[in-house]
Amino acid sequence: MNLAVIGSGGREHALCYKLKQSPKLKKLICIPGNAGTQKIAKNIEEDISNFDALYKIIKNQNIDLVIIGPEQPLVDGLFDYLNKKNIKVFGPNKFASQLEGSKAFMKNLCKKNNIPTANFGTFNNLKNASDFIRKNGAPIVVKADGLASGKGVSICNSTSEAIIKAKEVLKGKFKSSSTVVLENFLRGEELSYFVIVDENSYKFFGSAQDHKKVGEGDVGPNTGGMGAYSPTPLLTKKLEIKINKKIIEPTLKAMKKLGHPYKGFLYAGLMINKGEPYLIEYNIRMGDPECQVLMMRLKTDLLEIIDLITKNKIKDLKIEWTKKNSITIVLCARGYPFNHIKNREIRNLLKILPDKKNQIFHAGTYKKNNKIYSVGGRVLNVTCVSKNLGEARRNCLAIIKKINWTDGFYRKDIGWRLINKK
Protein backbone atom coordinates (compact mmCIF):
# COMPACT_ATOMS: atom_id res chain seq x y z
CA MET A 1 0.00 0.00 0.00
CA ASN A 2 1.07 3.57 -0.64
CA LEU A 3 0.50 5.78 2.39
CA ALA A 4 0.56 9.49 3.10
CA VAL A 5 0.88 10.81 6.64
CA ILE A 6 -0.13 14.45 7.10
CA GLY A 7 1.72 16.45 9.76
CA SER A 8 5.21 17.30 10.99
CA GLY A 9 5.37 16.57 14.72
CA GLY A 10 6.82 13.89 16.94
CA ARG A 11 3.49 12.10 16.71
CA GLU A 12 3.75 11.85 12.92
CA HIS A 13 7.37 10.66 13.07
CA ALA A 14 6.32 7.95 15.56
CA LEU A 15 3.40 6.91 13.30
CA CYS A 16 5.75 6.72 10.29
CA TYR A 17 8.25 4.69 12.34
CA LYS A 18 5.60 2.11 13.16
CA LEU A 19 3.98 2.08 9.69
CA LYS A 20 7.41 1.55 8.13
CA GLN A 21 7.63 -1.84 9.91
CA SER A 22 4.59 -3.18 8.05
CA PRO A 23 5.18 -5.76 5.32
CA LYS A 24 2.12 -4.30 3.59
CA LEU A 25 3.78 -0.93 3.07
CA LYS A 26 5.07 -0.08 -0.39
CA LYS A 27 5.55 3.68 -0.29
CA LEU A 28 5.40 6.15 2.59
CA ILE A 29 5.21 9.91 2.11
CA CYS A 30 4.93 12.54 4.83
CA ILE A 31 3.46 15.99 4.15
CA PRO A 32 5.36 18.09 5.13
CA GLY A 33 7.27 15.95 7.66
CA ASN A 34 10.50 16.87 9.46
CA ALA A 35 14.16 15.86 9.45
CA GLY A 36 13.24 12.62 11.24
CA THR A 37 10.50 11.46 8.87
CA GLN A 38 12.86 12.30 5.99
CA LYS A 39 15.01 9.32 6.97
CA ILE A 40 12.17 6.80 6.64
CA ALA A 41 9.65 8.44 4.31
CA LYS A 42 9.61 10.79 1.36
CA ASN A 43 8.89 14.28 2.69
CA ILE A 44 6.84 16.56 0.45
CA GLU A 45 6.76 20.20 1.48
CA GLU A 46 3.24 21.67 1.39
CA ASP A 47 0.97 23.90 3.44
CA ILE A 48 -1.42 21.39 5.02
CA SER A 49 -4.27 23.92 5.09
CA ASN A 50 -4.18 23.98 1.27
CA PHE A 51 -6.50 21.05 0.55
CA ASP A 52 -6.33 21.38 -3.25
CA ALA A 53 -2.54 21.16 -3.17
CA LEU A 54 -2.70 18.13 -0.85
CA TYR A 55 -5.09 16.40 -3.23
CA LYS A 56 -2.73 16.97 -6.16
CA ILE A 57 0.18 15.40 -4.27
CA ILE A 58 -1.95 12.43 -3.20
CA LYS A 59 -3.05 11.83 -6.80
CA ASN A 60 0.44 12.27 -8.26
CA GLN A 61 1.97 9.91 -5.73
CA ASN A 62 -0.70 7.20 -6.23
CA ILE A 63 -1.60 7.17 -2.55
CA ASP A 64 -4.01 4.45 -1.38
CA LEU A 65 -4.63 5.74 2.12
CA VAL A 66 -4.16 9.08 3.92
CA ILE A 67 -3.56 9.28 7.68
CA ILE A 68 -4.18 12.71 9.17
CA GLY A 69 -2.08 13.34 12.29
CA PRO A 70 -3.01 16.77 13.71
CA GLU A 71 -6.37 18.18 14.78
CA GLN A 72 -6.50 21.38 12.72
CA PRO A 73 -6.96 19.79 9.24
CA LEU A 74 -9.49 17.35 10.70
CA VAL A 75 -11.49 20.15 12.31
CA ASP A 76 -11.29 22.07 9.03
CA GLY A 77 -12.80 19.11 7.15
CA LEU A 78 -9.87 17.49 5.33
CA PHE A 79 -11.51 14.08 5.75
CA ASP A 80 -14.71 15.27 4.04
CA TYR A 81 -12.79 17.05 1.26
CA LEU A 82 -10.68 14.01 0.33
CA ASN A 83 -13.50 11.54 0.88
CA LYS A 84 -15.63 13.42 -1.66
CA LYS A 85 -12.85 12.93 -4.15
CA ASN A 86 -12.83 9.19 -3.47
CA ILE A 87 -9.58 9.17 -1.53
CA LYS A 88 -9.45 6.70 1.37
CA VAL A 89 -8.77 8.57 4.60
CA PHE A 90 -8.23 7.49 8.20
CA GLY A 91 -9.69 9.95 10.71
CA PRO A 92 -12.99 11.50 11.81
CA ASN A 93 -15.10 13.74 9.57
CA LYS A 94 -15.67 17.44 10.17
CA PHE A 95 -18.85 16.95 12.19
CA ALA A 96 -17.32 14.33 14.49
CA SER A 97 -14.18 16.47 14.86
CA GLN A 98 -16.25 18.93 16.86
CA LEU A 99 -15.56 16.66 19.82
CA GLU A 100 -12.21 18.46 19.95
CA GLY A 101 -12.94 21.50 17.79
CA SER A 102 -15.71 22.84 20.04
CA LYS A 103 -15.60 22.42 23.79
CA ALA A 104 -19.22 23.64 23.92
CA PHE A 105 -20.24 20.80 21.55
CA MET A 106 -18.35 18.23 23.62
CA LYS A 107 -19.72 19.49 26.95
CA ASN A 108 -23.31 19.60 25.69
CA LEU A 109 -22.96 16.06 24.35
CA CYS A 110 -21.73 14.96 27.81
CA LYS A 111 -24.64 16.68 29.53
CA LYS A 112 -27.25 15.12 27.23
CA ASN A 113 -25.80 11.64 27.67
CA ASN A 114 -24.92 11.70 31.37
CA ILE A 115 -21.18 11.41 30.71
CA PRO A 116 -19.24 12.39 33.86
CA THR A 117 -17.46 15.72 33.35
CA ALA A 118 -17.03 18.99 35.28
CA ASN A 119 -20.14 21.17 35.63
CA PHE A 120 -20.00 23.97 33.11
CA GLY A 121 -21.63 26.86 31.34
CA THR A 122 -21.04 28.32 27.87
CA PHE A 123 -21.37 32.07 27.37
CA ASN A 124 -21.30 34.72 24.70
CA ASN A 125 -21.57 37.76 26.95
CA LEU A 126 -19.59 38.98 29.94
CA LYS A 127 -22.53 39.67 32.22
CA ASN A 128 -23.73 36.06 32.21
CA ALA A 129 -20.18 34.68 32.35
CA SER A 130 -19.35 36.90 35.37
CA ASP A 131 -22.55 35.84 37.15
CA PHE A 132 -21.58 32.16 36.66
CA ILE A 133 -18.05 32.82 37.95
CA ARG A 134 -19.30 34.65 41.07
CA LYS A 135 -21.93 32.01 41.76
CA ASN A 136 -19.48 29.09 41.47
CA GLY A 137 -16.41 30.76 43.00
CA ALA A 138 -12.72 29.86 42.56
CA PRO A 139 -10.84 27.78 41.59
CA ILE A 140 -12.57 27.84 38.24
CA VAL A 141 -11.42 26.90 34.75
CA VAL A 142 -11.85 29.31 31.82
CA LYS A 143 -11.63 27.86 28.32
CA ALA A 144 -11.84 29.11 24.78
CA ASP A 145 -14.48 27.11 22.92
CA GLY A 146 -12.37 26.44 19.80
CA LEU A 147 -8.88 25.12 19.03
CA ALA A 148 -6.15 27.14 20.71
CA SER A 149 -2.98 24.98 20.43
CA GLY A 150 -3.17 24.09 24.12
CA LYS A 151 -3.17 27.79 25.12
CA GLY A 152 -6.91 28.31 25.55
CA VAL A 153 -7.26 26.97 29.11
CA SER A 154 -6.70 29.02 32.29
CA ILE A 155 -7.06 27.59 35.75
CA CYS A 156 -8.00 30.62 37.85
CA ASN A 157 -7.54 30.85 41.59
CA SER A 158 -9.67 33.96 42.02
CA THR A 159 -12.96 35.11 40.56
CA SER A 160 -11.40 38.41 39.43
CA GLU A 161 -8.73 36.56 37.42
CA ALA A 162 -11.43 34.33 35.90
CA ILE A 163 -13.45 37.38 34.82
CA ILE A 164 -10.36 38.89 33.14
CA LYS A 165 -9.64 35.62 31.28
CA ALA A 166 -13.28 35.20 30.25
CA LYS A 167 -13.29 38.78 28.91
CA GLU A 168 -10.21 38.01 26.78
CA VAL A 169 -11.90 35.01 25.20
CA LEU A 170 -15.16 36.91 24.59
CA LYS A 171 -13.20 39.75 22.96
CA GLY A 172 -11.78 37.27 20.42
CA LYS A 173 -8.27 36.53 21.74
CA PHE A 174 -8.60 33.09 20.11
CA LYS A 175 -9.52 33.30 16.46
CA SER A 176 -11.32 29.94 16.36
CA SER A 177 -14.26 31.12 18.55
CA SER A 178 -15.22 33.88 20.96
CA THR A 179 -17.50 31.68 23.04
CA VAL A 180 -16.20 31.03 26.54
CA VAL A 181 -16.65 27.76 28.44
CA LEU A 182 -16.48 27.94 32.25
CA GLU A 183 -15.94 24.78 34.27
CA ASN A 184 -15.65 23.66 37.84
CA PHE A 185 -12.13 22.69 38.79
CA LEU A 186 -11.64 18.91 38.95
CA ARG A 187 -9.19 17.38 41.40
CA GLY A 188 -7.31 14.12 40.91
CA GLU A 189 -4.72 12.55 38.64
CA GLU A 190 -4.79 12.90 34.84
CA LEU A 191 -4.81 9.97 32.45
CA SER A 192 -4.60 9.91 28.65
CA TYR A 193 -6.80 7.08 27.39
CA PHE A 194 -6.92 6.04 23.74
CA VAL A 195 -9.28 3.98 21.62
CA ILE A 196 -9.34 3.29 17.90
CA VAL A 197 -12.81 3.29 16.45
CA ASP A 198 -14.68 2.06 13.37
CA GLU A 199 -18.41 2.16 12.64
CA ASN A 200 -19.05 -1.21 14.30
CA SER A 201 -16.73 -1.36 17.28
CA TYR A 202 -13.75 0.10 19.09
CA LYS A 203 -10.54 -1.19 20.64
CA PHE A 204 -8.36 -0.02 23.49
CA PHE A 205 -5.38 1.74 21.98
CA GLY A 206 -3.17 2.33 25.00
CA SER A 207 -2.94 4.65 27.95
CA ALA A 208 -0.28 7.06 29.12
CA GLN A 209 0.36 9.93 31.47
CA ASP A 210 1.94 13.11 30.22
CA HIS A 211 3.49 16.15 31.85
CA LYS A 212 1.91 19.34 30.52
CA LYS A 213 3.69 21.94 32.66
CA VAL A 214 6.97 23.32 31.42
CA GLY A 215 8.92 23.05 34.69
CA GLU A 216 10.22 20.21 36.85
CA GLY A 217 7.81 19.34 39.65
CA ASP A 218 4.93 20.15 37.25
CA VAL A 219 5.14 23.93 37.65
CA GLY A 220 4.86 26.87 35.27
CA PRO A 221 2.78 27.42 32.16
CA ASN A 222 1.08 24.65 30.20
CA THR A 223 2.76 23.26 27.09
CA GLY A 224 1.78 20.76 24.41
CA GLY A 225 3.51 18.13 26.61
CA MET A 226 7.05 17.85 27.99
CA GLY A 227 7.17 14.07 28.23
CA ALA A 228 5.05 10.98 28.76
CA TYR A 229 5.20 7.39 29.90
CA SER A 230 3.24 4.21 29.38
CA PRO A 231 1.82 2.03 30.80
CA THR A 232 0.57 3.52 34.05
CA PRO A 233 -0.70 1.62 37.09
CA LEU A 234 -3.36 4.33 37.43
CA LEU A 235 -5.32 2.41 34.79
CA THR A 236 -6.64 -0.72 36.49
CA LYS A 237 -8.97 -3.21 34.80
CA LYS A 238 -11.82 -1.92 36.96
CA LEU A 239 -11.19 1.67 35.93
CA GLU A 240 -10.91 0.69 32.26
CA ILE A 241 -14.38 -0.87 32.39
CA LYS A 242 -15.78 2.29 34.00
CA ILE A 243 -14.16 4.53 31.36
CA ASN A 244 -15.59 2.43 28.54
CA LYS A 245 -19.09 2.14 30.02
CA LYS A 246 -19.48 5.68 31.35
CA ILE A 247 -17.54 7.71 28.79
CA ILE A 248 -16.43 6.01 25.56
CA GLU A 249 -19.52 3.94 24.74
CA PRO A 250 -22.12 6.66 25.42
CA THR A 251 -20.06 9.06 23.28
CA LEU A 252 -19.83 6.66 20.33
CA LYS A 253 -23.53 5.89 20.63
CA ALA A 254 -24.40 9.59 20.70
CA MET A 255 -22.28 10.31 17.60
CA LYS A 256 -24.05 7.50 15.75
CA LYS A 257 -27.41 8.89 16.79
CA LEU A 258 -26.38 12.27 15.43
CA GLY A 259 -25.77 10.58 12.08
CA HIS A 260 -21.98 10.82 12.24
CA PRO A 261 -20.46 7.60 13.56
CA TYR A 262 -17.01 8.32 14.93
CA LYS A 263 -14.05 6.82 13.12
CA GLY A 264 -10.34 7.13 13.86
CA PHE A 265 -8.21 7.61 16.96
CA LEU A 266 -10.11 8.98 19.94
CA TYR A 267 -8.15 10.33 22.88
CA ALA A 268 -9.96 10.95 26.16
CA GLY A 269 -8.19 13.32 28.54
CA LEU A 270 -9.46 12.14 31.93
CA MET A 271 -9.28 13.19 35.55
CA ILE A 272 -9.32 10.22 37.91
CA ASN A 273 -10.66 10.99 41.36
CA LYS A 274 -11.11 8.23 43.96
CA GLY A 275 -11.27 5.60 41.20
CA GLU A 276 -13.90 7.50 39.19
CA PRO A 277 -13.19 8.88 35.70
CA TYR A 278 -14.25 12.38 34.59
CA LEU A 279 -13.84 13.59 31.04
CA ILE A 280 -11.73 16.76 30.79
CA GLU A 281 -11.54 16.86 27.02
CA TYR A 282 -11.67 14.81 23.86
CA ASN A 283 -8.99 14.88 21.21
CA ILE A 284 -9.76 13.44 17.81
CA ARG A 285 -6.20 12.25 17.16
CA MET A 286 -3.31 10.59 18.91
CA GLY A 287 -1.68 12.50 21.73
CA ASP A 288 1.68 14.13 21.27
CA PRO A 289 3.97 13.00 22.98
CA GLU A 290 1.81 10.03 24.10
CA CYS A 291 1.89 8.56 20.59
CA GLN A 292 5.68 8.31 20.78
CA VAL A 293 5.63 6.02 23.83
CA LEU A 294 2.69 3.99 22.52
CA MET A 295 4.27 3.29 19.13
CA MET A 296 7.31 1.86 20.96
CA ARG A 297 4.99 -0.53 22.83
CA LEU A 298 2.64 -1.54 20.01
CA LYS A 299 3.35 -5.06 18.73
CA THR A 300 0.56 -5.37 16.14
CA ASP A 301 1.06 -4.07 12.61
CA LEU A 302 -0.27 -0.47 12.63
CA LEU A 303 -1.03 -0.50 8.93
CA GLU A 304 -3.11 -3.65 9.37
CA ILE A 305 -5.02 -1.96 12.23
CA ILE A 306 -5.73 1.21 10.25
CA ASP A 307 -6.65 -0.70 7.11
CA LEU A 308 -9.20 -2.75 9.09
CA ILE A 309 -10.64 0.42 10.64
CA THR A 310 -11.25 1.98 7.22
CA LYS A 311 -13.09 -1.25 6.26
CA ASN A 312 -15.08 -1.31 9.55
CA LYS A 313 -13.58 -4.69 10.41
CA ILE A 314 -11.49 -4.01 13.52
CA LYS A 315 -13.75 -6.16 15.74
CA ASP A 316 -11.88 -9.44 15.33
CA LEU A 317 -8.34 -8.13 15.53
CA LYS A 318 -6.38 -8.57 18.75
CA ILE A 319 -4.16 -5.54 19.30
CA GLU A 320 -1.05 -6.44 21.29
CA TRP A 321 1.33 -4.35 23.39
CA THR A 322 4.60 -5.14 25.09
CA LYS A 323 4.31 -4.94 28.87
CA LYS A 324 7.63 -3.10 28.96
CA ASN A 325 7.77 0.54 30.05
CA SER A 326 8.27 3.34 27.61
CA ILE A 327 9.14 6.94 28.35
CA THR A 328 9.71 9.99 26.18
CA ILE A 329 11.46 13.21 27.13
CA VAL A 330 10.81 16.24 24.97
CA LEU A 331 13.75 18.45 24.10
CA CYS A 332 12.48 22.01 23.56
CA ALA A 333 14.01 25.16 22.11
CA ARG A 334 14.86 27.79 24.74
CA GLY A 335 11.94 30.15 25.30
CA TYR A 336 9.21 27.54 24.74
CA PRO A 337 6.19 27.71 25.32
CA PHE A 338 6.54 31.42 24.54
CA ASN A 339 8.78 32.99 21.88
CA HIS A 340 11.43 30.37 21.33
CA ILE A 341 14.68 30.45 19.42
CA LYS A 342 14.74 28.98 15.93
CA ASN A 343 17.14 27.85 13.23
CA ARG A 344 19.82 26.55 15.60
CA GLU A 345 21.95 23.63 14.59
CA ILE A 346 21.63 20.46 16.67
CA ARG A 347 25.03 18.81 16.56
CA ASN A 348 25.86 15.16 17.27
CA LEU A 349 22.37 14.00 16.35
CA LEU A 350 23.37 12.08 13.26
CA LYS A 351 25.99 10.18 15.28
CA ILE A 352 23.41 8.60 17.61
CA LEU A 353 22.09 5.42 16.08
CA PRO A 354 18.54 4.39 16.98
CA ASP A 355 17.47 0.81 17.65
CA LYS A 356 14.26 -0.98 18.65
CA LYS A 357 14.58 0.19 22.26
CA ASN A 358 15.85 3.71 21.74
CA GLN A 359 14.45 6.20 19.26
CA ILE A 360 14.73 9.92 18.72
CA PHE A 361 11.47 11.12 17.22
CA HIS A 362 11.83 14.51 15.61
CA ALA A 363 9.27 17.32 15.90
CA GLY A 364 10.32 20.86 14.91
CA THR A 365 13.46 20.03 12.90
CA TYR A 366 14.67 20.41 9.33
CA LYS A 367 17.75 19.31 7.43
CA LYS A 368 19.93 21.63 5.36
CA ASN A 369 23.36 20.83 3.87
CA ASN A 370 23.46 17.61 5.85
CA LYS A 371 22.97 19.44 9.15
CA ILE A 372 19.89 19.33 11.40
CA TYR A 373 18.33 22.59 12.64
CA SER A 374 15.52 23.38 15.07
CA VAL A 375 12.46 25.31 14.00
CA GLY A 376 9.58 24.41 16.38
CA GLY A 377 9.19 24.86 20.14
CA ARG A 378 9.17 21.12 20.79
CA VAL A 379 12.14 19.81 18.82
CA LEU A 380 13.00 16.19 19.68
CA ASN A 381 11.40 13.33 21.60
CA VAL A 382 13.99 11.01 23.07
CA THR A 383 12.07 7.79 23.61
CA CYS A 384 13.24 4.59 25.28
CA VAL A 385 11.65 1.31 26.23
CA SER A 386 12.85 -0.99 29.00
CA LYS A 387 11.61 -3.52 31.56
CA ASN A 388 12.00 -0.84 34.18
CA LEU A 389 10.70 2.74 33.85
CA GLY A 390 13.62 4.19 35.83
CA GLU A 391 16.08 2.52 33.48
CA ALA A 392 14.14 3.75 30.44
CA ARG A 393 14.45 7.29 31.79
CA ARG A 394 18.17 6.89 32.51
CA ASN A 395 18.66 5.74 28.92
CA CYS A 396 16.76 8.79 27.61
CA LEU A 397 18.86 11.13 29.75
CA ALA A 398 22.09 9.47 28.55
CA ILE A 399 21.07 10.04 24.92
CA ILE A 400 20.17 13.69 25.63
CA LYS A 401 23.63 14.16 27.18
CA LYS A 402 25.18 12.92 23.96
CA ILE A 403 23.11 15.39 21.93
CA ASN A 404 24.37 18.15 24.22
CA TRP A 405 22.32 20.92 22.60
CA THR A 406 22.87 24.12 24.54
CA ASP A 407 20.02 25.94 22.75
CA GLY A 408 17.52 23.47 24.19
CA PHE A 409 16.10 22.40 27.54
CA TYR A 410 14.13 19.44 28.92
CA ARG A 411 12.65 18.06 32.13
CA LYS A 412 14.71 15.43 33.96
CA ASP A 413 11.78 14.35 36.13
CA ILE A 414 9.38 12.83 33.58
CA GLY A 415 7.66 9.87 35.23
CA TRP A 416 8.39 11.14 38.77
CA ARG A 417 5.14 9.74 40.15
CA LEU A 418 6.30 6.19 39.48
CA ILE A 419 10.07 6.39 39.48
CA ASN A 420 10.39 8.08 42.86
CA LYS A 421 8.20 5.42 44.40
CA LYS A 422 10.64 2.67 43.51
Binding residues for ligand AMP, rule: CB under 6 A, are: 118, 141, 153, 155, 183, 185-186, 190, 212, 269, 280-281
DSSP assignment of 57-102, as one string? HHHHTT-SEEEE-SHHHHHTTHHHHHHHTT--EES--TTTTHHHH-
Q: Which one of ligand AMP, ligand GLY, none is in contact with 190 (Cβ closer than 5 to 8 A by kind)?
A: ligand AMP
Q: Which of residues 183 and 290 has its CB atom nearest to ligand GLY in the complex?
A: 290
Q: What's the min distance (Å) between Cβ of 219 and ligand AMP?
A: 13
Give the number of other Cβ atoms within 10 Å of residue 344's Cβ.
18
Q: Which of residues 4 and 141 has its CB atom nearest to ligand AMP in the complex?
A: 141
Q: Which one of ligand GLY, ligand AMP, none is in contact with 287 (Cβ closer than 5 to 8 A by kind)?
A: ligand GLY
Q: Are 3 and 64 in contact (CB under 8 A)?
A: yes
Sign of CA dihedral 162, 189, 216, 340: negative
Q: What's the min distance (Å) between Cβ of 396 and ligand AMP?
A: 23
| CA dist., res. 328 & res. 306, Å (int) | 24
As to burial, measured by CB atoms within 10 angstroms (0-12 exposed, 13-18 middle, 19+ buried), residue 151 is: middle
Contact footprint for ligand GLY (CB under 6 A): 210, 225, 283, 287-288, 290
| CA dist., res. 52 & res. 87, Å (int) | 13
Q: Which of residues 185 and 373 has its CB atom nearest to ligand AMP in the complex?
A: 185
Q: Which one of ligand AMP, ligand GLY, none is in contact with 118 (Cβ closer than 5 to 8 A by kind)?
A: ligand AMP
Q: What's the min distance (Å) between Cβ of 6 and ligand AMP?
A: 22
Q: Which of residues 34 and 283 has its CB atom nearest to ligand GLY in the complex?
A: 283
Q: Which one of ligand AMP, ligand GLY, none is in contact with 317 (Cβ closer than 5 to 8 A by kind)?
A: none
Q: Which of residues 182 and 268 has its CB atom nearest to ligand GLY in the complex?
A: 268
Q: What's the min distance (Å) between Cβ of 212 and ligand AMP?
A: 5
Q: What's the min distance (Å) between Cβ of 19 and ligand GLY?
A: 19
Q: Which long-range contacts (CB under 8 A, 24 or more apart) does 206-213 make?
A: 206/230, 206/231, 206/290, 206/294, 206/297, 206/298, 206/321, 207/231, 207/232, 207/234, 207/235, 208/232, 208/287, 208/290, 208/293, 208/294, 209/234, 209/417, 210/287, 210/289, 210/290, 211/411, 211/414, 212/150
Q: Which of residues 290 and 301 has its CB atom nearest to ligand GLY in the complex?
A: 290
Q: Which one of ligand GLY, ligand AMP, none is in contact with 46 (Cβ closer than 5 to 8 A by kind)?
A: none
Q: Which one of ligand AMP, ligand GLY, none is in contact with 210 (Cβ closer than 5 to 8 A by kind)?
A: ligand GLY
